[in-house]
Structure 1
Amino acid sequence: MTMQELLDEFDPLSVSSNSNQQPITDHPLNTSTRSNLISTNITKSDQAWRDAQQRSHSRQQALAQHLAQEPFRPSTTSLDFPHLPPPPSSSSPSSSSSSPLSKLEQEKLAAALNEDFDEFVSSSNSTDPNLPNLIKDLSIERRQFEEDFSKKQPIGRSGTSTPSCFDGPEGRPTPIKLLGLDEQSQAVMDDELAEGIRLHLPPRLKIPARWELLYSIDQHGTSLGTLYQRVGGASPKTNGCVVLVIRDERGDRFGAFVNEPLRPSKEYYGTGECFLWKAVNFGPDDFRIGVSVRTYAWTGVNDYMILSDQEMLSVGGGDGKFGLWIDSNLEKGISASCPAFGNEVLCSLKDDGSKNNNGKEEGSFEVLGLECWRIIV
């Protein structure tokens, strides 16, 4: 827009260039007077805009004060509105400073807007026939999102919710239930120890929660042949997986996990899933009570996992050492560090520091309790 067009727009005495009339050249207003008149009109327009802003701000404040006096109904969605800006500065005496809305007032204003939205959705006064349906769809989607979002909120003490295949509460595994124990027998395995061993089992065996006793010295006698019969005969059900647990005269508990049924054999058998373990008491400075389970997995150095016959049962070997060895009467045993598992001595060492033929530490023990457990899958 040129300067002449701007002057013509604000000058009521000017005429359009397309008009057939001749411009009035003898009007008493000179150029200076016309400029003052235009400036006055611009000032009035700016003042009108300021007054409109002031009225809008006053209405917003009045609405907030009214909502503060009414009982507040919680809304499913709470919007955090920014503070309303103050009106433009003006020399008018009606302008006054106002404090920003509080958090509660903002939430009430958001609730009022939500209610107005719902009322608008339910009305059918729109001139556009497609608009009500569109807004109804948006309202349904909004409410559906709120419902889905509330269902996905984290639960539990940890504040997070992780999907799990376990059946226990909050995705935790179902506690292990030990089956087959005689009420009068002195069990070696207990719930705490079983849960500790469970953490180190192959993934497919961590989920099942029922463990069945296959063999126990206390219930079935001290016979290696009986052990082979009861454990080997159950191999179709166990897929060969057995947890061996021993308690010695010092009260130490240790053993092995084997993935094939124990049986007489002239050769080593078993795979890299086998491991040795021992229960370790928490230290005096540890706030926890009970025991933890320390495991020794296959090192890959050799394949000497399980070797057993009618005279002895052993797990882990190499260099003439056995990680765990038990005699045919299931009365005495030996434990040493072996290459197959790189384990520590499982039992407590005697004060004399016993050595094997290779000069390595090894511990001997007397068997007070021995059990074999299968995991029901």
Structure 2
Amino acid sequence: MWSNFHPVKVKITLWYISRGWCLSRADMWHSRAQNLTEKSGALKNMKEHIRVFYFAKDCKEPYVEIITVKESKRRLSFCSSVESEAEENEYEERDEDFPVLSDQSQLLNEYQLQKLAAHMPARTQGYPWNLVYSTSIHGSSLKTLYRNMAGLDSPVLLVIKDMHKQVFGAFSSDPFRVSKYCYGTGETFLFSFNPDFQQYRWSGENSYFVSGNWESLQIGGGGGGFALWLDADLYHGASFSCPTFHNAPLSTHEDFIVQDVEVWTVQN
């Protein structure tokens, strides 16, 4: 009798079942399915090579489908391949978000680059990062840093690595320049990998985003110190908590020695 077996669908009305219900109550409905199939005469005893599946979809009333074990294995194999394809597509989407760099960064690894790119303003997404200043290429000079950004009209990313191997810095809505007054917007933020990624956005308490002169570059302020301060030789630095960002010190030491600096511009 079983050689002529055909799949049988048994309708079950479950008005209270929410979207996405599937297989979560298999044990409960197994006995009900047997009762229903026995009453309908479609099946007297559950054989070893038969399985019962329970389905609920958005546009369909939940139902039980009785199929052979062979068919169930085929379906499970198909579902696994679909899930693998979905995971691959998700990975590809993450790859697409990875920034395109004009040069290889000496300070940021792939994880750090991806974290920063994901937390930068929407207007920067999808545009290449261009290296405009690097101590390993241009030497340690704040004047050179300013000069390399002259004429730019795009946000910049400052990355610092200190002698304790800590990586931190700031995203500035405006390129760095010498100015008598503070400049920048609320897009400006601080970050650190100490050791995990931390981001400090504008608190709204004041607008002391960035200021610069020939002796130093300052980011954040209004309290007892700057959130980030660099001297003219880009050798000595400091980082304190400040009202502008309500940040913790970015380095493990409030006063630190700079090992390397990179500045990236993100422009279309």
TM-score between the two structures when normalised by the length of structure 1: 0.51
* 2: CA distance, partners of 1:270 / 1:372: 16
Report the CA distance between 1:232 and its aligned residue.
Answer: 3.1
Ranges of 4+ aligned residues in structure 1 off by more than 3 Å: 100-108, 153-159, 170-174
Query: What's the counterpart of residue 80 of structure 1?
Result: 9
Aligned partners of 1:255 and 1:278 also within 8 Å: yes
For the aligned residue pairs, the C-alpha RMSD in angstroms reads 3.3
Give the length in aligned residue pairs: 218
1:215 aligns with 2:133: yes
| Residue of structure 1 aligned with 2:230, choices 318, 322, 326 | 326
1:367 aligns with 2:258: yes
Report the CA distance between 1:229 and its aligned residue.
Answer: 1.9
Alignment of 1:75-114 (within 5 A): 80-81=9-10, 82-85=36-39, 99-100=44-45, 103=50, 106-107=66-67
When residues 253 and 66 of structure 1 are mapped into structure 2, their CA distance, relative to the original with a 3 A threshold, is: closer
Deviations 1:261-304 (A, max 9, x none): 111110011111111111122xxxxxxxxxx3111111110000
Report the CA distance between 1:212 and its aligned residue.
Answer: 1.9
2:136 is matched by which residue type in structure 1? D
Aligned partners of 2:231 and 2:237 also within 8 Å: yes
**Runs (5+) with no aligned partner, structure 1:** 1-63, 73-77, 88-97, 112-149, 163-167, 282-291, 350-362
1:316 aligns with 2:207: no
Query: What's the counterpart of residue 28 of structure 2?
Result: none
Provide the secondary structure at the position in 2 that maps to 1:83: helix
**Runs (5+) with no aligned partner, structure 2:** 11-35, 53-65, 72-77
Provide the secondary structure at the position in 2 that maps to 1:193: helix
Aligned partners of 2:155 and 2:267 also within 8 Å: no
Query: What's the counterpart of residue 75 of structure 2?
Result: none
Query: What's the counterpart of residue 145 of structure 1?
Result: none
* 2: CA distance, partners of 1:180 / 1:324: 25
Query: What's the counterpart of residue 208 of structure 2?
Result: 304
* 2: CA distance, partners of 1:294 / 1:221: 28
Structure (1 or 2) with the greater strand fraction: 2
Report the CA distance between 1:176 and its aligned residue.
Answer: 3.0
Aligned partners of 1:224 and 1:330 also within 8 Å: yes
Tell me which of the two structures has the higher relative contact order, counting C-alpha pairs closer than 8 angstroms and 6 or more residues apart: 2
Report the CA distance between 1:242 and its aligned residue.
Answer: 0.8
1:227 aligns with 2:145: yes
Structure (1 or 2) with the greater helix fraction: 1
TM-score between the two structures when normalised by the length of structure 2: 0.69
Provide the secondary structure at the position in 2 that maps to 1:318: coil
* 2: CA distance, partners of 1:316 / 1:154: 49
| Residue of structure 2 aligned with 1:280, choices 169, 194, 206 | 194
Alignment of 1:170-209 (within 5 A): 170=93, 173-181=96-104, 187-208=106-127
* 1: CA distance, partners of 2:137 / 2:179: 26
Aligned partners of 1:178 and 1:191 also within 8 Å: no
In terms of Rg, which structure is larger? 1
1:266 aligns with 2:180: yes
Query: What's the counterpart of residue 344 of structure 1?
Result: 248
Query: What's the counterpart of residue 24 of structure 1?
Result: none
